[in-house]
Amino acid sequence: MIVRGVLVSVPEMKNSDVTDVEVSTGSQADTGWNRHVAEILKSVHDLQLLLPALVNAIDSLTPNSAGSSGVLLFAPREHGHDIWSYPDPVERYDRAHQFDPFPAAVLRGELGCRVLRDVAPAGFENSAFYESVYLNEGFKDEVVHSCKLDSTYIIAGRMFRNRLTHREIEAHRGASVVIQAAARHAVKLLLSTDQSQLFEPIRSVKYALAHFGGDVLTPREQDVIHLILQGHNTESITYQLDISANTIKRHRSNAYRKLAINSQGELFSRFLASLGKRTTG
């Protein structure tokens, strides 16, 4: 079968594999949650049906909130990540999306159900990244369900055009065990194919940060600039580096002068330009 242009060969599955997806009932019943769980169970042998069933199930948890759902896989490498996404093409996660706080949280071992406020650093909503990736695209919040299969990390989630309510967050938390199980099962099917056809290598932010400005900035100026790029404000940087706010301002001013920029927005644009689109190393 073909999934987003990738030829996928799905092996015969044992009946016991169906138990990878556990059925959960509760407050989601009034949103048609049980119907979507049934669709997931019916699709466990067919990746072409399972992926849309999973996305539809995520959508059903917040029927009154507009947004966009999808699944992202990534396998870290020394100088980057191997990445695949559904239903959007992987380019959506190129460049700016590599700076997403959710993959960073997952790599820290923070798996399970998380909302944006759980993983975003202090001052994140005032950062150029938040403006570029969220506000400019009309999004204000996000929830993800993350898990791991061997060395592959899985993020299934939804971006929202409104702030999530407490009730909506609880709906996702209550359903997370099912979403994670279904996502893990889908990835098990997906990884049965030739991975050289599946993944696209993308340079990691960690690798890019380690080299950004290194030819002109001092180590401490690099530290300040790296934290600014990650969305930290002056107060947060003061805490992270244990230096005064005036010292931070001085390092920032010197760094901006050396990089020939005048604002955080220009800094963010310069960093994205340094990432490039692909890495083969």
| 271 — pLDDT class (breaks 50, 70, 90) | confident
The matching CATH number, chosen from 3.30.450.80, 2.30.300.10, 3.40.50.360, 3.30.200.20, for 2-202 is 3.30.450.80
* Per-domain boundaries in the chain: 2-202, 204-275
Residue the block writes with tokens 């060969």 = 9
- The residue that leads in pLDDT, 53 or 98, is 53
* CATH architecture label of 204-275: Orthogonal Bundle (1.10)
Find the helix packing angle between 234-241 and 245-259, rounded to 10°: 110
Q: Do 56 and 36 touch, CB atoms closer than 8 A? A: yes
CB-based burial of residue 263 (10 Å sphere; 0-12 exposed, 13-18 middle, 19+ buried)?
exposed
Report the Cα–Cα distance between both ends of the chain, in Å, rounded: 31
Q: Which residues contact 16 (CB under 8 A, 6 or more apart)?
A: none
Task: Give the alpha-carbon dihedral of 159, 164, 167, 172, to 10 degrees.
Answer: 20
5-9, 25-29, 240-244, 269-273: which range is least confident on average?
5-9
pTM of this structure: 0.62
Spatial CB neighbours of 252, under 8 Å, sequence gap ≥ 6: 224, 225, 228
Q: What percent of the chain has pLDDT over 70?
A: 74
Question: pLDDT tens digits, residue range 74-105?
Answer: 877 665 667 778 887 554 454 445 567 888 88
Residue 205 DSSP label: H
Per-residue model confidence as pLDDT tens digits over 203-257: 555 666 777 787 788 989 988 988 888 778 888 899 889 999 999 999 999 999 9
Q: For the chain, what is the mean pLDDT?
A: 77
Question: Would you place residue 14 in the very low, low, confident or very high pLDDT band (cuts 50, 70, 90)?
Answer: very low
Residue range 180-195: average pLDDT? 81
* pLDDT tens for each residue of 106-142: 888 999 999 999 998 888 888 877 887 788 788 889 9
Buried/exposed 168-177: b ≥16 CB within 10 Å, e otherwise = bbbbbbbbbb
State the DSSP H helix or E strand holding residue 147, giving kind and residue range, or none if neither.
strand 141-149
Diameter of the chain measured on Cα atoms? 64
Give how far the C-alpha of residue 127 lies from the chain's centroid of Cα atoms, to the nearest Å. Answer: 17
On the question of pLDDT at 17 being above 80, the answer is no
CATH topology of 2-202 equal to that of 204-275? no
